[in-house]
């Protein structure tokens, strides 16, 4: 059986989007990877991921903590090649299929003459608006399937 050990979201970046006259937000990120298991007794449950098998559904949870500054910010996550994207918990993400050069909704992106599929996604990003950022902390979650 093919087993892959998946590192917890290495490479997540955060960029401020404040106006030039304001201090850019300082944001700390914390992440965790869970695997979804389905059992007859417990139904669907998440457990911390350590070893994964092809076909496993994983859930990535990124927590952000605003440490200061003004305005909103962007959280960008490159996807490991060992998984393909499934979807975000709230659906307000943008994806890239070209290594982060261009962004959009998955159903609006094209690879050659076809519509992009979840397997084409290389990066996911979320814009955290100033109002949401003012709460001081939040969570972003999305799922993927192990290739």
Tokens of 111: 């690879």
Q: 3-state secondary structure string, 62-82?
A: EEEEEEECCCCEEEEEECCCC
Cβ neighbours of residue 1 closer than 8 Å, sequence gap 6 or more: 53
Query: For the segment 87-139, what is each residue's pLDDT rounded down to a tens digit?
Result: 998 889 999 999 999 999 999 999 999 999 999 999 999 999 999 999 999 99
pLDDT the model gives residue 3: 32
pLDDT the model gives residue 12: 58
Pairing of strands 57-68, 137-146: antiparallel
Query: For the segment 13-69, what is each residue's pLDDT rounded down to a tens digit?
Result: 666 544 444 567 799 999 999 999 988 988 999 999 988 999 999 999 999 999 888
Exposed (0-12), middle (13-18) or buried (19+): which is 97, by Cβ within 10 Å? buried
pTM score above 0.75: yes
pLDDT the model gives residue 38: 87
Query: For the segment 77-96, what is each residue's pLDDT rounded down to a tens digit?
Result: 999 999 999 999 888 999 99
| Domain limits, the chain | 3-146
**Separation CA 73–CA 50 (nearest Å):** 30
């Amino acid at each position: 059986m093919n087993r892959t050990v998946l590192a917890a979201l290495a490479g997540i970046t955060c960029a401020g989007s404040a106006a030039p006259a304001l201090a850019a937000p300082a944001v700390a990120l914390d992440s965790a990877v869970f695997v979804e298991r389905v059992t007859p007794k417990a139904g669907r449950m998440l457990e911390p991921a350590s070893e994964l098998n092809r076909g496993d559904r994983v859930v990535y949870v990124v927590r952000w903590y605003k440490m200061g500054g003004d305005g909103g910010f962007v959280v960008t996550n490159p996807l490991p090649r060992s998984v393909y994207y499934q979807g975000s918990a709230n659906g307000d993400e943008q994806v890239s299929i070209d290594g982060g050069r261009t962004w959009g909704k998955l159903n609006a992106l094209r690879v050659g003459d076809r519509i992009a599929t979840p397997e084409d996604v290389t990066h996911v990003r979320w814009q955290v608006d100033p109002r949401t950022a003012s709460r001081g902390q939040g969570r972003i979650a999305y799922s993927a399937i192990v290739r």
